[in-house]
Amino acid sequence: MDPDRKYPGFVDILKAIIGCYYIAKMNGYKFKIHFDTPFQLSKFLSPLSESNDWILSACEKADIDKLNISIGLMDYNGIGKIPQLTRARYQVRNFIGWNILQRNNMVGWEKKWHELYHELFQPSNYLLKNIAEFKIKENEYIAIHIRFVNALELAEPDFPQKPLNEVEKMNLISSCISKIKELESTENSKAVVFSDSNYFLSRCRDMDIFVLAGNVGHITYNQNDEIVLKMFIDLNMIARAKKVFSLRSNNLYASAFPLYGSIIGGKLFSVVNL
């Protein structure tokens, strides 16, 4: 991860990491990640085993920094035969957050992606400690995720969507809350609600709908410790739900965040239209 680059959301970064790991694994390569910016990945995710330790040491990074990055570069746009690498040392410096398993129409790509993720990662002790403070057991709730982007407040300045007027905001909030209560009833289970809108989460609290503590933010714009920890807690709590739902409408964004939370957890994912 280059400190001079602006990166997309974390799920897009994860898709790139898993895709690169798959390419390395198919070629018999060891796989390492240098991820100290925009936050330190190893604070939140740990290697699953010593034999597959993905953390790049300072010595290994120094060796890579000596390489001429203009030599031996190839373009791979995520569709077509997985590249066959030579014995040269390879490094990835530019990526788009595509899921190459899905783009290559791999049958059962969700299961394979789940397996690859869990070959690399487990929650760090720091993350587990913070999750445990909520005292919510796995598979005892449904997760409902709603991504508003800028519909309720200007959260992502680079996104073309503009906030709705006040009447439209109230109607959208009311529709979302009604659907949450409906899903709780039909699933006969308490919901934990996740969103990218702090305003909506505060309204949920007012309506006695359960949301986790903490402020949300997008890591493209805000990488402070509170925001990054909240993101990892949300992703892992979605993975721990017994079912995952994503609410959609004309003013709601088709977020990949709940989908990949469900894949990490190996849980059923459903899109629900308002």
* DSSP bridge pairs for 112: none
Mean pLDDT, residues 178-204 taken together: 97
Q: How many domains does the chain have?
A: 2
Q: Are residues 85 and 137 in the same domain?
A: no
Could you say which of 123, 154, 170 is where a domain stops? Answer: 123
**What is the band of 73 on the pLDDT scale with cuts at 50, 70, 90?**
low
Q: Are residues 230 and 165 in the same domain?
A: yes
Predicted pLDDT of residue 251: 93
Give a three-class secondary structure readout of 243-270. Answer: EEEEEECCCCCCCCHHHHHHHHHCCEEE
Could you say which of 123, 146, 176 is where a domain stops? Answer: 123
Q: Are residues 119 and 133 in the same domain?
A: no
Predicted pLDDT of residue 217: 87
- Is 80 exceeded by the pLDDT of residue 71? no
Q: Are residues 47 and 104 in the same domain?
A: yes
Look up the domain containing 93 and give its range.
Answer: 10-123
Domain membership flag for residue 198: yes
Q: What is the token pair recorded at 270?
A: 């459903």
Considering the chain, what is the average pLDDT of its residues?
Answer: 92
Predicted pLDDT of residue 193: 98
Q: Are residues 141 and 212 in the same domain?
A: yes
Mean pLDDT, residues 247-268 taken together: 96
Q: What is the pTM of this model?
A: 0.93
Domain membership flag for residue 117: yes
- Is 90 exceeded by the pLDDT of residue 83? no
* DSSP bridge pairs for 272: 247
- Is 90 exceeded by the pLDDT of residue 237? yes
For residue 222, give the CATH number of its domain: 3.40.50.11350
User: What Rg, from alpha-carbon coordinates, does the chain have?
Assistant: 20
Which pLDDT tens digit goes with each residue over 100-154? 999 999 999 999 999 999 999 999 999 999 999 999 999 999 999 999 998 998 8
Task: Please state whether beta strands 121-123 and 45-47 pair in parallel, antiparallel, or not at all (unpaired).
Answer: antiparallel
Domain membership flag for residue 88: yes
Percent of the chain at pLDDT > 90 equals 72
Q: Are residues 139 and 202 in the same domain?
A: yes
Predicted pLDDT of residue 155: 78
**What is the band of 76 on the pLDDT scale with cuts at 50, 70, 90?**
confident
- Is 70 exceeded by the pLDDT of residue 79? yes
Write the DSSP assignment of the chain as a string of letters: --TTS----HHHHHHHHHHHHHHHHHTT----B---SSS-GGGTEEES-GGG--BPPHHHHHHHHTS-TTSS-----SSSSPP---SS-----------HHHHTT-TTHHHHHHHHHHHHEEE-HHHHHHHHTT---TTSSEEEEE--TTSSS---TTSS--PPPHHHHHHHHHHHHHHHHHHHHHHTS-EEEEES-HHHHHHHHHTT--B-SS----TTT---HHHHHHHHHHHHHHHHSSEEEEEE-TTS---SHHHHHHHHHT-EEEEEE-
Per-residue CA distances from 31 to 17, 21, 36 (Å): 10, 6, 16
- Is 90 exceeded by the pLDDT of residue 93? no
Domain membership flag for residue 1: no
Mean pLDDT, residues 45-68 taken together: 90
- Is 70 exceeded by the pLDDT of residue 264? yes
78: left (phi over 0), alpha (psi -120 to 50) or beta: left
Predicted pLDDT of residue 72: 61
Q: Are residues 144 and 245 in the same domain?
A: yes
Domain membership flag for residue 49: yes
Q: Are residues 145 and 268 in the same domain?
A: yes
Which of 41-45, 97-101, 157-161, 220-224 ranks highest by mean pLDDT? 41-45
Instruction: Tell me which residue has tokens 């789940």.
Output: 114
Predicted pLDDT of residue 168: 95
Q: Are residues 192 and 84 in the same domain?
A: no
Domain membership flag for residue 268: yes
Q: Are residues 155 and 72 in the same domain?
A: no
**What is the band of 172 on the pLDDT scale with cuts at 50, 70, 90?**
very high
